[in-house]
Amino acid sequence: MVACFATLGLVSIAVANNQSSAQPSNKQEIEARFNAADTNGDGQITLAEAQAGMPRVAMAWDKIDVDKKGYITLDQLLAIVAANQ
C-alpha cells in the first residue's frame, strides 16, 4: 500500500512548486522548475531550496534523497518522475 501511495503521489510531489499546482507536462518544465529552485546555481537543490521553491519535493525529501547526501540533482528528480509514471 505504501508503494502504491508513493507511485501515485511522487509524480505530483516531485514536480509541483509554489508558482503552480499544475503538473509539468514535459522534461523541460521540470527542468525549469528545478533550476528556479536551485538558487545558487550549483546543479543541486538542498532541502532549504526545495522548501522555498519546490515544497512538495521538500515534503517527500526522505523518499527522494535516499542516499542522504543533503541535496538532489535534476537527473535524480527526473528518474523518480519517470519511475512513477
Domain residue extents for the chain? 2-83
pLDDT of residue 59: 94
Asked whether residue 5 carries a pLDDT value surpassing 80, the answer given is no
Residue range 67-73: mean pLDDT, rounded: 96
Instruction: Tell me the per-residue pLDDT of 25-60, one tens digit each, with 9 for 90 and over.
Output: 688 988 999 999 999 999 999 999 999 999 989 999
Q: What is the pLDDT of residue 83?
A: 87
What CATH number was assigned to the domain covering residues 2-83? 1.10.238.10
pLDDT at 85: 78
C-alpha cell at 56: 512538495
CA–CA distance, 3 with 22 (Å, rounded to integer): 23
Terminus-to-terminus CA distance in the chain, angstroms? 17
Indicate the average pLDDT of the chain: 79
